[in-house]
Chains A and B, each alone.
Chain A
Amino acid sequence: MGKTLYEKVWEAHEVRKLRSGQSQLFIDLHLLHEVTSPQAFGMLRDLGLKVRYPHRTFATVDHIVPTHDRTEPFQDPLAQSMLEALRQNTREHGITFFDLGSGNQGIVHVIGPQLGLTQPGMTIACGDSHTSTHGAFGAVAFGIGTSQVRDVLATQTLAAQKLKVRRINIEGKLSPGVYAKDVILHIIRHLGVKGGLGYAYEYGGSAVEAMDMESRMTLCNMSIEGGARIGYVNPDETTFAYLEGRHYSPKGAEWEEAKRRWRSFASDPDAHYDDVVTFRAEDIPPTVTWGINPGQAVPIDGRIPLLEELSLEERPVAEEALAYMGLRPGQPIKGVPIQVAFIGSCTNARLSDLREVARFLKGHKVKKGVRALVVPGSEWVAKKAEEEGIAEIFQEAGFEWRNPGCSMCLAMNPDRLEGDELAASSSNRNYKGRMGSPRGRTVLMSPLMVAAAAVAGEIADAREVFGIGR
């Protein structure tokens, strides 16, 4: 019986068994940001411990960064103090820090792959649940809490429990106007937001094999929204082509050796899975959420479900969602007015996302009254987009072009919804109050669908707005 990538990576990193029965797992790469690390450094200090292997830790600042005016000190003294704390902690412990203006600052899950830090067969941890993004490279990557950030800083290991593996096949070819974001919303819609509890998700099948790395990142990014702490895709030639020549990628003789090693981690053809689920790519439409969790989603030309169409367990949350969103059962989701359009976040703020939107947005205008913003995922993405004329296309259409950061996705910076504004968003979470207003509402969708909603002033089908596939 063959092994899955998850098992192989686990075995290569299992230091020993702990008395509790958990395993001590070695972490190859530790990523830090400003929100979940200061308390961890505080605990290290209290315990009189040092960072054991600083060469395995990299830090950036993303959650609290103002995207409009980044002049320091920031207007928000709390945000400034978090940045200062990270600067001080990384300096004191000899950790590489991609600070504002370094050219490499950005959302932690965007810069890891971009710099070649993220590599196949690695274990990667970060105090952020969307660490699952890095699984796109065939890494075992997962979010941790702050006490575990302390554990990794002090020992480069953590106490971990082995997961089951569910293989999710997407077979066939995606239709025009359908993206990785639609695929993952479709998966979560069908498997549920608790469906992944206890599992790592392995994504495969012909549609996934055909995806570029950035699409695979989007897919893996939202594994956590499906309840799975980990999502990954087996490394292949697409993975290697993406990594070749990146700043931290192996070079020269080491490159060939690395590829050999990376290939060996891919799941064996006869690997055992605890569960296998298959979806047909042709069945996946552009998908949008209507509720207060990412599983409450429908096809763009669909209707919000009637309560009687839902299981008894789903009904209370559906009722709560409808009341919060101000929507009715059976109502078409298309045509719901929006006030804000947000393209950004670790799910969809990479260069390919912005290129794809700009390709269709050129010549269109954002509807009057809609506040539309684009927040690139990193300084590098912003620079490339500016050089390629993408920023200009967005600006001409009426989007605000911002500096890189997490921004409105969780609104720890000044970008937020006001009152009960409804946002079309390329981010990953539509929880109550997620975008900074306790009454603010979020509808999740692909970046191109956000652009379509911005142009139409309402939830719209990008294929109709931009004449795709006809």
Chain B
Amino acid sequence: MLERFTTIRGRAVPLRGEDIDTDRIIPARFMKVLTFEGLGQYLFYDERFDEKGQPKPHPLNDPRYQGASILLVEAGFGSGSSREHAPQAIKRAGFRTIIGESFAEIFFGNATAIGLPCVILSPEDLAVLFQAVEEDPSLEVEVDLVNKEVRFGGRVAPLFIPEEAREALVAGLWDPIGELLQAGELLDEFDRRLPYPRRSE
């Protein structure tokens, strides 16, 4: 049985910047791997470490945000390469959900399919949340996928997420493989009917 995502509680790391692409989330050189294990350590590597491997000032290196499980981002997060390595690295670094203003399609799909919900707040609510978390890194944030709201510091902000993704996350159906397999012989019918590249010598 897959995890059902109803309410996720935790502290948040504010990561400012628009259009953060997947090359930044995980640089291509760390993708020379046969499994996703251990990718968490390379999350935002080039932004967190200099060329000698020394830490640079970055929210993820900030001791006040250690142990946070919510990633706070701005608009256009996850653009670029389709690499699932990006949401995998975020998940494996200990994050359970991402709150932002908008997400790139493929990134959103990849994240949902591995059980990493990405939810959207209005730009106004997101700005308030960023400020609140920057002022008080110990602030507890609640992402409630059932009632479709984010709660923090006595405030309640409506969250947006495509309904299909929300239902899948809440019902524990976010990994579709089981349901896809159930199509069984229906698939064979499509395979027989739809042409495919055939070498005809």
**Chain A interfacial positions (CB closer than 8 Å to B):** 12-13, 15-16, 18-22, 24, 26, 28-29, 35-36, 38-39, 42, 47, 49, 52-53, 55-56, 58, 63-64, 76, 78-79, 81-82, 85, 115-117, 119, 127-129, 131, 142-148, 150-151, 154-159, 161, 193-194, 197-198, 224-225, 227, 229, 247-248, 250-252, 254, 258, 261, 293, 313, 316-317, 320, 410-412, 429, 431-434, 436, 438-439
Which one, A79, A82, A119, A436, contacts B197 given CB within 8 A?
A119
Minimum Cβ distance to chain B for residue A138 (Å): 14
Residues of A contacting B179 in the complex (Cβ-Cβ under 8 angstroms): 18-19, 24, 159
Selected contact of A129 from candidates B28, B31, B106, B190, CB within 8 Å: B106
B112–chain A nearest beta-carbon distance, Å: 9
Contact of A143 among B23, B33, B82 (CB under 8 A): B82
Q: Are A38 and B35 in contact (CB-based, < 8 A)?
A: yes
- Which of the residues B32, B109, B196 comes within 8 Å of A55, measured between beta carbons? B196
Tell me, yes or no, whether B2 is within 8 Å of chain A by CB.
no
Known: A147-B113, A225-B80, A431-B24. 13 other contacts (CB 8 A): A24-B180, A56-B191, A82-B34, A144-B106, A150-B177, A154-B181, A227-B79, A258-B195, A261-B195, A293-B21, A411-B28, A412-B28, A432-B24
- The answer to the question of B135 belonging to the interface, with a C-beta cut-off of 8 Å to chain A, is no
Q: Which A residues are CB-close (under 8 A) to B164?
A: 20-22, 161
Contact with A along B153-197 (1 / 0, CB 8 A): 000000000111101100101011101110100110011001111
Given A56-B196, A151-B176; A157-B183 close (CB under 8 Å): yes
In whole angstroms, how far apart are the Cα atoms of A356 and B186 in the complex? Answer: 48
Contact B34 A42 (CB under 8 A): yes
A211 to B120, CA, bound (A): 39
Q: Which residues of B lie under 8 Å from residue A116 when comparing CB positions?
A: 197
Are A431's CB and B23's CB within 8 A?
A: yes
Residue B140 at the chain A interface, CB threshold 8 Å: no
Cα separation A412 to B83 with both chains bound (whole Å): 13
Q: Which residue of A lies closest to B163 (CB)?
A: A21
A148 touches B186 (CB 8 A): no
Interface residue ranges, B against A (CB under 8 Å): 16-19, 21, 23-24, 27-29, 31-36, 46, 51, 75-76, 79-85, 87, 102, 104-106, 109-110, 113-114, 162-165, 167-168, 171, 173, 175-177, 179-181, 183, 186-187, 190-191, 194-200
Q: Which residues of A contact B18 (CB under 8 A)?
A: 313, 316-317
The closest CB in chain B to the CB of A40 belongs to B84
Question: In the complex, what distance in Å separates the CA atom of A58 from the CA atom of B183?
Answer: 23
Q: How far is the CB of B19 from chain A (nearest CB, A)?
A: 5
Q: Give Cα distance in the complex from A52 to B192, angstroms.
A: 13
Q: Please determine whether B183 and A198 come into contact, CB atoms closer than 8 angstroms.
A: no
In angstroms, Cα B167 to Cα A35, docked, is: 31
B79–A412 touching, CB < 8 Å: no
Tell me whether B180 and A159 are in contact (CB under 8 A).
Answer: yes
